[in-house]
A and B are shown apart, each in its own frame.
Chain A
Amino acid sequence: MNYLELISHVLPEIAVLVTALVLIGMGCAGGSRGGGKAVLAVTAAGLGLALAAVVFGPESGRLLEGMIVVDALTRLFKAVLLALTLGTALFLFPGGEAGGNEGRGAENSALLLLALLGLLVVVGTENLLLLFVGLELASLALYLMVVFAAPAGRPAEAALRYFFFGSVAAAFLLFGFSFIYGATGSIDLRVIAKVLAAHPVEPILPLGVGLALVGFGFKVAAVPFHLWAPDVYQSAPAPAAGFIASASKVAGFFIVAKVLVLGFGVVEGSADWGAFAMGWAPLVAVLAALSMVVGNLAALAQQSVRRLLAYSGIGHSGFILTALVAANAEAVRAVLFYSVIYGVASLAAFGVAGCVLRARGADRLEDFAGLGRTAPAAAGVLALALLSLAGLPPLVGFFGKFQLFAAALSGGTPGTVPGLLWLVALALLMSAVSLYYYLRVLKQVFFAPAPADAAPTRDTSAGTAVCLVCGSVLVLLGLFPSLVLQPLQRALVQLF
């Protein structure tokens, strides 16, 4: 390996990093005072360059013992993360009147890009050490984005809670990784898989995997490691919450699936009804079941729409983990596919919620009343996003959920009752519950009269454009899911 080869493989990361440094420089020079247009242009240009570097860069490679891995799957997900970040960046700049970001847009954008850098590193590695450092890079930037440009009071409290939870989760993750290293003698996922296949399982390994699961559970907001999520989603600036719910979650599920299936596929165990076997599958099944029940039931009682979205996100973590329990190629495909469409739908939902928040000053259910008449475009996108999350056809959410549950049921011998039927039955039940609270929001949006003194809900063209793009993606993918599924399938064939 020479350095030129190394650089060519991390060109997207370098593009993002250089852009972030340029933005920090602009912040120091006071360049963001002019309404943030220059900042937005620089951010978009940097993300565009990074996307070009992903698309036209090397197609495959594995450097430094798996620290840098480039294959079809990582390239696909890097592109997805870049696109979601571009959407978030457009939300960050609500045009002329900045929502509390005045004069700080450059730093805010720089933090967003540094968080993205962490996620890109995480997605493009099969090395536990780099995985951990990348996750920390992303987390640290996210803590700051939550508290950044927010008024005094609750956001700081939410950020502090996020920070404490995150630090403890990181400690668990690091503990777990060091036990895994102790048990297998390697931090390279592929080597770990080989060692596990060849040697009897070390007693310390289950401990390591369990501790690592705690850290991952925090990252994807699975119950019982979810307590930070509602406060953070509610108190953070809407774009930051959108980023945490979209790009950060996509990357989270990507690494959970990759680490568990690629590295620890041998010690999966079984969560089948009546045939429990120790391994990570029963633990993930418990996380999934708890997340579905707690997330969806708690969402019923919420008055704040962003809090509702947070609990619905927790519930969705449960749905996604349900498929992961099956741990075959089909399941991984379903998990990755659903995490992407969940990311797109959440970004759109948080975008609309942020625009209502700016116009009416709060995001209680009543504040959404009459949105269908005052801002039909935003209301339409919100409807698409929520119905997709609820899993109604013809939106892509239906197809994604169908895939998840089909994958969970696909394991086992044909002709017998699938072992994961209990989990899928629970998921279907909770899916029905979730429809109720999504429709509660939509009832306010379309059927409640707007308050007489309601300020007109106006968003900038950039934000509306992102919302519309997200909405059309949800419809388009619902009609033609193979647009994403086929590349994903091809990429996974290379992996397995």
Chain B
Amino acid sequence: MVDFFFYLFSAFTLACGLLVVLSRNPVNAAVFLILTLLGVASLFVMLQAYLLAAVQVLVYAGAVVVLFLFIIMLLDVPESARKRFKPAVALAAGLSGLVLILGVGLLVSGAETAGPEAPAAGVGADLKAYGEYLFTSYLLPLQVTGFLLLIAMIGVILLSRKPSAAADKEPAEAKTR
């Protein structure tokens, strides 16, 4: 039963992921992205990581993709014409994909799956435990992430500011490639 649902949700996630890439209309792609994320969330539920599943739905499907949709609609991105790949690019992409699949297949096939114990279950399930980890053991990465967001904020402010006259001082260079 569990196996059945695992394969069901995996297939659903993969199919939606493919449709994200293949959709020509950006709005459709974004909506399929939401479905992909919901599929991943259901996989989390099956691992009993309920908190992670909820966060996945709330933050990714809820906030991030909705932001995508806003931007797509604000910029009014047109439906892209289907571009043909150059044969060389297609060949290279196909070859590297094949090598990757074969490589991973070789690595995983015939492997024992008795590794070291997974970390204590319930970390991803319990909000209290999660919060405690976040603000004790993982306090430092959290802080650094905070400054990451600060840089992003500064960057947006600086880049969207009107260019001053001084910005034109550095002469444009000759293209030398």
Contacts and interface: CB of A to CB of B under 8 A. Distances in A.
A303 B140 contact: no
A102 B172 contact: no
A363 B116 CA distance: 56
Contacts of B7: none
A450 to B, nearest CB: 19
A137 B150 CA distance: 10
Contacts of A141: 151
Contacts of B148: 133, 136-137, 140
A212 interface: no
A363 B173 contact: yes
A100 B169 contact: yes
Nearest to A230: B177
A203 B107 contact: yes
A183 B118 CA distance: 9
Interface string B140-177: 11001101101110110011000110111111111111
Interface stretch (A38-46, A60-68, A441-449): A60-68
A64 B173 contact: no
A451 interface: no
A130 B147 CA distance: 13
15 contacts: A99-B170, A104-B158, A104-B164, A133-B145, A134-B144, A137-B144, A137-B151, A140-B155, A144-B158, A184-B116, A185-B115, A195-B116, A302-B176, A304-B173, A362-B173
Interface residues of B, number: 41
A307 B163 CA distance: 26
A136 B146 CA distance: 12
B116 A110 contact: no
A330 B107 CA distance: 32
Interface residues of A, number: 63
Contact of B164 (A103, A117, A136, A137): A103
Interface in A352-369: 357, 361-364
Interface string B53-95: 0000000000000000000000000000000000000000000
A155 to B, nearest CB: 9
Contacts of B141: 67, 129-130, 133
A114 B173 contact: no
Contact of B167 (A151, A202, A307): A151
A167 to B, nearest CB: 13
A154 B173 contact: yes
Contacts of A304: 173, 176
A207 interface: yes
Contacts of A152: 163, 167
